[in-house]
Structure formats: C-alpha cells, structure tokens
Structure 1
Amino acid sequence: MSLSTCSRVPVAVVAVTLPQARPLRSVATNAFARASCGGGHRHKLRSVAALKTSSDDQNLVQQSADDNRDSIWSNDYIQSMESKYSGEANTEHINKLKEDARTMLKKAEDEPLINQLELIDLLERLGISYHFEDEIQKNLERISQAHSKPTHYKDLYATSLEFKLLRQHGYKVTSDVFKAFKDDKSGQFKASLGKDCKGLLNLYEASFLAVEGENILEEARSFSKKYLSKQKKDGTYLSLLVAHALELPLHWRMPRMEARWFIDLYQQCQYMNPALLHFAKLDFNIVQATHQQDLKFVSRWWMNTGLGKNLNFIRDKMIEHFLWTIGLMYEPQHGYFRRVVAQLVALITTIDDIYDTYGTLDQLQLFTDAIVRWDINEVDRLSDNYMKMSLFTLHNSVCEIAAKHFRDQEVNVLPFIKKAWIDLCEAYLVEAKWYNTGYVPTMQEYINNATISVAAPLTLCYAYVLLSNPLSKDMLNNFHQYSVISHCPSLITRLTNDLGTSLAKIRQVDVPKSIECYVHDNGCSEDEAREHVRGLIEATWKKMNKASLESPLTMPKKTFHRVAVNLARMSQFMYLHSDGHFFQDFTIYKNDMLSLLANPFEI
C-alpha cells in the first residue's frame, strides 16, 4: 500500500522488526534500472516511514512479487508477431506521401507565419517530423531570424506556438515576447486573454520550456492554467487537448506514445488534413513493424542467455525493457541502438536484482570487486553460480560492443563502458550496506548515490557510444562536458520513480527514498516532502532546458541531448499512473503496450 493511501504511522513511533532473510522483491523502486522494471531499495527502515504490515499485506506483497516476475508477453507470443507493414511492400506508397508532405512544407514558406508554424507543429505531433529534419531546421532558422523583430507579437496563439517550437529546437529566443500580453498598469497578463483557449493552451505548453529565472514564464503558466482549468470538458478536440496538457505537458511526454495518442485525436479535428493523417497512420504502422523485429531479436537474445530461465529471483520482463528503448529513440533507422540498449536494461535489471534480493553482503562485495577488476578470471572467486552466469553474460555483452566499435571506428570504448558499469555496481553496493546497517541517508547522500544507481548515467554512456559516428578517443575523454545534461535526466528519473512508486498499492519494506529522506531531514509532513520533490523535478527540467539551449545545434551533440531529454520523458511516462511495471493487469499500461507494439492503425 502506498504511503499516501495507507494509514500513515507517525515517524519514529513504531519500530519494525524484520526477519533475517532478504526481503521480498517488490516492484519498481529504483527508477530506470529498477523501473525497468520494478524493484529496488528493498532495505530496512529504522525511524523513517515505519509501517505495520499485517499478514494479509504480507500475502499481497508475496503474490505481487510472484506475479511481477514474468513479462506480460511470452517469447513465443513475441516471435509469433506478424505485420503486413514490414518489408518493402509499402515503400513506394510511403515515399509518395513523404514527397507530398515535403511539398506542403515548401509551399508554406510563402504563406503567413502561423501556417508555417502549425504545419511544423502538426508534423511533430503526428510523429512524422523525423522525415523532414533538414527542411524543418531551415524553416525554423528563417523564423528565428525574424523573431527578433517584435512587430507581429499581437496574437497570443501565434507567439506562444512560435516560442515553443523555437525553444524545442534549441533556439535562444527571449521570453520577453510575452510582455506584450501584459497590462501596462497592473503588470499582470490581460484578463481578456482568458477567452483565447488556443492561445492559453500554447502559452501553457510554452511555459514548460522555461529556464531558471524566467519569472514571466512562471506567471504565464499560473495564468494559463487558471483559465484552462475552467474550460468546459465537452469531449471536443480542443477540450481533450487541454485536459491532456493539464495532465502532463507536451514537453514532458514520451514522443512515440504521444504520437499514437494524437493520431487518434486528430481524426476529430474539424480542419484535419486527410493526407497527413493517412501518412501518419501508415508511417506508424511501418515503424511499429520495425520495432517488432527489434523486439524479436532481443527476446531471442534474452532466451539464449538463460538468465531468465535459471535465475528465478530476477524480473524476466524483456518487453518492459524494450519499451524504454522506444522512448529513447523510436525512429526506424536506430534499430541497432534499440537492440543494444534493450540488452543493457535487461542486464541492469538482472544485476540490480542480485544486489537487492539475492546476494549476501559478502557475496556482493566479491561481485563488485570482480566488476571493478574487470577480469573474467575473477569469476573463480565467486561461490555462487548465478553471479558467475551474470558476470559471464555482462562481459560477453560489453566485449561484443567494444569489438564492433573497434572494428567499425578503430576506437576502444571498453574503458569508457567499463567505468560506467563500475560506478553503477559500486552505487548498488552502497545501498546494500545501508540495508545491512539500517542506515538512513540524508537527502543529499541519497541523491548523490541514487542518481547513479538509477542507471541513467550508464544508459547515457551507451547512448553516447552508439549514436556518435564518427567517434574518437578525444570525444570519450571529453564526455564530462555533458555532465549537466546527463545528471538532469538521472535526477528526474529517480524522483519521478519515488513519487510514482509511493502510490503503489503494496506496503513495502524499503530503504528511505527521497520523500522519506526529506521528512527525516526536515521533520516535515509527507505532503510537504512530496511538494518539495515535485519542485525539484520542475527545477531540474529548467536546468536541462538551459543545457539544451547552450548546446550547439550540431550532431552528435544534438542527438545525444535528445536522448537525454527523452530519458526524462520516459520516466514521466512510466510513473504518470503509479508504476506501470508493477501492475501487470493495469489497464492503461497494457493498452499502451498493445497500441505501441502490437496493434496497428486501421487504414
């Protein structure tokens, strides 16, 4: 049961006596690694968040742990997936639709600015803008040059849409353009704008592109949210867009899932473009077929490792692992990226479960030492066959990646990847030691360690290697320049997980997460701690927005930044409705999986 739904026991009032055995593996408590899926931080609580656990609750935890081990889809089901949109059958048709859309973009250059903005925005929301990156970039470059001329900032809708698009693409446009919509006397946004629903919606969405210190965008968000919340919920196209934005802003949403949702909604639009809708549906289905092939590959790989079959304490959830890769890079040309990262997430989850639910502290120390030394001969020092099997699989996977990159680019990435794995396992060991000593970390101690144990830094190291072409030794040595853009999604992933899993309907025996640590440090209420964590998430998004604006619009930097931002978006998606990994029969979660990977659009 969640801390917010159960009867809250006052801090430091009730002591919990735990059995000597390792605690039951619960679900989704360590963000990216544990997010994918579930589990993590199952450690002793001393004075913080002590909870009474009845026998019924213990049975519920046990049943949920048992149910949580297996994926919602078996390997047999995955291998049986078929799509009529795979192969070359639709190539000619999709190319024709693509050229028609390219012609629309070209013609729009001679049309009013709002037409250009709406077309670019539509292509992005339909999930087909990746076909036109060069054309869109040229259009936005031209628009950004005119942006400095504040002659056309009379329309809230156009101004907000332009600002949003330019900021999304890394242009350092000023938020001062919104001063034109403030009352000269009061200094507040004009009340008459409250009737402009489209303008308010785009103002609200634009406000989430803010960086630190942009007070006018904070005011814009409060103002627009106030009026949007009063809008009539009548099921119309615009009202559904408003409700969707208020639930979670577009800038924080997973692009692929957002495209799936928007294509469905766009059919209701009064001014719907049939050609673009058809293009979006067909493209979605073709890309979905590509994802199915990637999923089949990684599912076979996972079966061949034997880890899921032999290690009966780990989470055998390849479909959930693969879902993260779609959130990071869904475009069809990034199949190798998805296949490698899905393997990475599976290995992270396996090793996470070894630290969290299986190994003793002595065993975990030896396992960590073996990782640090990165010598396969160290396997002989391990007494446990499960750990040996995991170590062999990890070494094979990393060496295969290193060999490929040396063969293709003559760069040795092994030290770079090895260091990231060492950092992760050492962070896992810290948590194991906290468990064994019953230590309650401070909020800062928790954050310092959890932003590593969340496995986002390791994932971004992989992304940097996989997406950088050409790649050089100097680029690897200078990876520290990405410290901010790497840290921000790590922190967001960790904190969104903490908020999301705190809503789970299972009472967990757990090491304190950020909410409990903040309560312990400050003696405040749980609600106050939650509000503080939400504030940290918003502040971290602002830092990440700033880092994206400071990055030159060149490859591979631009691509890496996009993956980093998408990692944060993916965490927002996974924990929007509690923890999708936990409740396998959770309707929203299962429907999302089906719509993304199994069910094509009808055409």
Structure 2
Amino acid sequence: MAFSINHGNFSASFHLPSLENEPCLRHGKMVKEAGCILSNTAGKDALEGLVLIDTLQRLGIDYHFREEIEAFLNTQYVNFSSPNHLPLDVFGVALRFRLLRQEGYSVSQELANIDCEIVRSIHQKEILQISNWWKDLGLAKELKFARDQPLKWHMWSMSVLIDPSLSEQRVELTKPISLVYIIDDIFDLYGTLNDLSIFTGAVNELFFDITESISAKIFEKHGWNPIESLQKSWKRLCDAFLEEAKWFASGKLPKPEEYLRNGIVSSGVHVVLVHMFFLLGQGINKETVDFVDGFPPIISSTATILRLWDDLGTAQDENQDGHDGSYLECSMREHPNVTVERAREHVRQLISDAWKKLNRECLSRSPFSPSFTKACLNVARMIPLMYSYDDNPSLASLKEHMRSLAAHLESKPF
C-alpha cells in the first residue's frame, strides 16, 4: 500500500507493507509461538519464565505479550507470597524482585536491607581503623597545610574494591592513597626547590618504612614479598613530583606531551594500583609483577584519565594557594592562538581516547585477574565524581553518604 502527504513545501511518500505478505505472516506466527511458550511456562519453570520476560523487555517486543506477562507475574507474586513457594537461586530472586517491582507489585526488600546494614557496618569498622591509623601517624599535626581527609580517601577504596569480603584490602589500600595526597600537597605548597630535593630523599626512606608493613602482610597472606615493587613505585612518584617542581621553579613549562608523560606518573595512580595488585593476591608471578612494574596500558590509561580530569580545573576542593601547572596551560602556551574552550575540548578528546584504550584493555586477554581489571575500571569511573567539585548534584549525596557512615565517629572534615 502506497500513499503520499503534501503540506505546503513538505511532501513525502510512504509504502506500507501488506499485513498478508510473508515477513508479516512469519512475524505473527513467531509472536504466537512465543506467547504459547510464555503461557506454558507459567506454572512449570519460574526462572525460565522470568528470563524470557526479561529478554522480551530488553528486545522491546514485550508489548505483544502484555496479557501473558501480566498473568505470569501475578502467578509469581501469589506464589512468592505463599510460605510453600519453591525458592530460587540468587539470580532468580533478584530478577523476580526487579520484574515484580517494575510492574508495581509490593515485594519485600528485607534481604537487601539486611545485606545493606551488614555492609554499612563493615565500612564503619574500616573507617574507624583508618581514622585511628591516620591519627597515630601524626602527619595532620606536623603538616598543617596538608589535607586532613581520611574519610574521603577511603571512599576511593570503598568504590574500587566493592566486595564486602575485601575489608582488609580496602583498609590497606587507603594508606597509600592518603600518602599520595599528602605528597602532592607538600610538593605543591612547601619549600624551595632545594628543600624539595632534600625532602625527596627523606620521604623515600619514610615511605620505604611504611611499605614494609604492607609488604609483610602481603607476604604472609599470599607468599610474595612486593617491597621492591612498592618502593620502586614510590620513588618513581616522588621523582615525577620533583620534575614538575623544577619546571615551575624555572618558569619554563614543558611541551604538553612531555608534561603528560610525567603527569600520569605524578597522578599517583600507578602507586595505588600496584599496591592493589598485590593486596588482591591473584595471579602473582614474575611475569605479572614485571608487567605491573612497567606501567602497563591498563594503568597508564587510567592515570591519563585522572591527570587530565584534574587538569581541566574541576578539582576545586583543595583550597590551595600553590601553582599547579596543567596540560591545558602547557598546550595553550605552545599554541597561543587557540581559545580556552578549544583547548578544553582537546583535553576532553584525550580523555575519551584514554577511555577507549582502557575499555580495550578490559575486554582483551590479559595476564591480570578479572578482579584487578574491574578495580582499574572502577578507579576510572570514580574520577569524574571525585574531581568534579562544582555544581555536581551527586556530590551532595556523596557527602551525605560519608556522614552517615561516620555518624558514630568524631567529626571529620570533608
């Protein structure tokens, strides 16, 4: 069937297929068969029916089966409310809960609530441990200018290692995260170039001592002493900070490419992810250790995302008077005719490219465990939230969540 529409300067012709042609007839037959399968499944295999409904909804063709779906879900709701209903596995329970809630059924979330309270309790114990560790370390008193935000730093660990069973790993991971922030503040705000050179040697020894404690725990649990790798990562970080300090002291910023090569190291991501690799304790052997020491793409792409996000100027939480260089500044000095917005767009494109690289690494064969790969991805996912201190409405909920976790602890700055 063909028809046309003419209205003013607009005209269009359409051809509607006959409902009696072969594709339409085959479509009607398939819809009828699927409806029969759904109807026949209703009282036999609950999980199969739930999966079928979920599949139909994801394909966007569930509107063909409204009556069958309504009847099936109503049966599921009645059976679920009965004390004699047959239990499903975790996947089935979760799927049934979502589909019933989605259609407006009142289904108890008691299990989810209990699980949430258990996880909250675990996180609160972790926060108490971190608060005590940070207080005993004494850096907040000695370095008045540095950030004093152990709870915020622990949010990284909570978001990256989400498995409740990884409580010890989260606590240990927060320690290097905290120290990365402190070193950043010291190099950004404290001392002359000569002072920083002396500090670099001293701080290397300090963090070597701190890594001994973490290394001992890893060796006891996983049978591998990572102290050489951890110390190497700290030295590389401090050297990168010192290189930046030399640039700013001389007043001569490097080319943007050189800045970024150094900046992905000074981001601290490598230090944190090396610690995390050993704390997870999965797939540790000479090959993977050499690989992680060598700044592999899965780490460098994550570090690139953090460095460039930070350099876009969205991290306004620091309240610092120091002078940080940035990729944006280096790029605009090299290309003075480029507008700020054009330069920012270039940085956003680099972030997009780094994300593509990270996604490729996560989807490709890798010597790393799935847990480590997912944790690297989680770091990148958290960056826009942790480094977007403008009008981002999600920050209000983040602060509220942090306060709720620390409700029983003494007040901490955010």
Could you tell me the TM-score, scaled by structure 1's length?
0.49
Task: Tell me how far 1:341 sits from its aligned partner.
Answer: 1.3
Letter in 2 for 1:337: Q
- Counterpart position of 2:176: 344
- Counterpart position of 2:307: 494
Note if 1:450 corresponds to 2:263: yes
- Counterpart position of 2:236: 423
Deviations 1:413-437 (A, max 9, x none): 1111111101100011011111211
| Kept in 1: contact 2:282–2:369 (CA 8 A) | no
Distance in structure 1 (CA, Å) of the matches to 2:213 and 2:405: 29
Structure showing the higher helix proportion among its residues: 2
Q: Secondary structure at the match of 1:499?
A: helix
- Counterpart position of 1:574: 386
Q: Secondary structure at the match of 2:224?
A: coil
- Change in Cα spacing, 1:466 to 1:505, as seen in structure 2 (3 Å) is closer
Higher RCO (C-alpha under 8 Å, 6+ residues apart): 1
- Output the aligned Cα RMSD: 3.3
The structure 1 residue matched to 2:113, chosen from 264, 281, 292, is 281
- Change in Cα spacing, 1:592 to 1:496, as seen in structure 2 (3 Å) is farther
Task: Tell me how far 1:501 sits from its aligned partner.
Answer: 2.4
Distance in structure 1 (CA, Å) of the matches to 2:248 and 2:397: 34
The structure 1 residue matched to 2:143, chosen from 294, 302, 311, is 311
- Counterpart position of 1:526: 340
- Counterpart position of 1:561: 373
- Change in Cα spacing, 1:432 to 1:280, as seen in structure 2 (3 Å) is same
- Change in Cα spacing, 1:508 to 1:361, as seen in structure 2 (3 Å) is closer
Note if 1:517 corresponds to 2:326: no
Distance in structure 1 (CA, Å) of the matches to 2:334 and 2:344: 14
| Kept in 2: contact 1:321–1:345 (CA 8 A) | yes
Note if 1:593 corresponds to 2:402: yes
The structure 2 residue matched to 1:466, chosen from 279, 282, 292, is 279
The structure 2 residue matched to 1:326, chosen from 158, 162, 168, is 158
Task: Tell me how far 1:287 sits from its aligned partner.
Answer: 0.8
- Counterpart position of 2:38: none
- Change in Cα spacing, 1:274 to 1:462, as seen in structure 2 (3 Å) is farther
Task: Tell me how far 1:504 sits from its aligned partner.
Answer: 7.6
Note if 1:115 corresponds to 2:54: yes
- Change in Cα spacing, 1:440 to 1:113, as seen in structure 2 (3 Å) is farther
- Counterpart position of 1:382: none
| Kept in 2: contact 1:496–1:537 (CA 8 A) | yes
Letter in 2 for 1:569: R
The structure 2 residue matched to 1:540, chosen from 344, 354, 359, is 354
- Change in Cα spacing, 1:506 to 1:420, as seen in structure 2 (3 Å) is closer
Deviations 1:433-457 (A, max 9, x none): 1121112222112211111111011
Task: Tell me how far 1:274 sits from its aligned partner.
Answer: 5.0
- Change in Cα spacing, 1:267 to 1:410, as seen in structure 2 (3 Å) is closer
Task: Tell me how far 1:499 sits from its aligned partner.
Answer: 2.4
Distance in structure 1 (CA, Å) of the matches to 2:46 and 2:352: 39
| Kept in 2: contact 1:409–1:470 (CA 8 A) | no
Task: Tell me how far 1:369 sits from its aligned partner.
Answer: 3.3
Task: Tell me how far 1:550 sits from its aligned partner.
Answer: 0.4
Letter in 2 for 1:356: D
Percent identity between the aligned chains?
31
* Alignment map for 1:137-286 (pairs within 5 Å): 155=59, 270-271=102-103, 275=107, 277-286=109-118
Task: Tell me how far 1:564 sits from its aligned partner.
Answer: 0.6
Letter in 2 for 1:484: P
- Change in Cα spacing, 1:413 to 1:441, as seen in structure 2 (3 Å) is same
Distance in structure 1 (CA, Å) of the matches to 2:332 and 2:345: 11
| Kept in 2: contact 1:361–1:436 (CA 8 A) | yes
- Change in Cα spacing, 1:446 to 1:114, as seen in structure 2 (3 Å) is farther
Distance in structure 2 (CA, Å) of the matches to 1:117 and 1:558: 30
Distance in structure 1 (CA, Å) of the matches to 2:183 and 2:404: 30
Q: Secondary structure at the match of 1:478?
A: helix
Letter in 2 for 1:578: D
Note if 1:409 corresponds to 2:241: no
| Kept in 2: contact 1:108–1:115 (CA 8 A) | no
- Counterpart position of 1:45: none
| Kept in 2: contact 1:518–1:529 (CA 8 A) | yes
Distance in structure 1 (CA, Å) of the matches to 2:56 and 2:145: 52
- Change in Cα spacing, 1:438 to 1:550, as seen in structure 2 (3 Å) is same
Letter in 1 for 2:340: E
- Counterpart position of 1:72: none
Could you tell me the TM-score, scaled by structure 2's length?
0.70
* Alignment map for 1:430-449 (pairs within 5 Å): 430-449=243-262
Task: Tell me how far 1:480 sits from its aligned partner.
Answer: 5.8
Distance in structure 2 (CA, Å) of the matches to 1:270 and 1:573: 28
- Change in Cα spacing, 1:436 to 1:481, as seen in structure 2 (3 Å) is closer
Deviations 1:272-329 (A, max 9, x none): 5655744333322221111010010011011111111222121111111111111211
Letter in 2 for 1:316: D
Letter in 2 for 1:528: R
Gap runs ≥5 in structure 2? 1-44, 63-97, 409-414
- Change in Cα spacing, 1:112 to 1:409, as seen in structure 2 (3 Å) is closer
- Counterpart position of 1:357: 189
Task: Tell me how far 1:593 sits from its aligned partner.
Answer: 2.4
- Counterpart position of 2:78: none
- Change in Cα spacing, 1:309 to 1:529, as seen in structure 2 (3 Å) is same
- Change in Cα spacing, 1:501 to 1:593, as seen in structure 2 (3 Å) is same
- Change in Cα spacing, 1:113 to 1:536, as seen in structure 2 (3 Å) is farther
Between the two proteins, the alignment pairs up a number of residues equal to 327
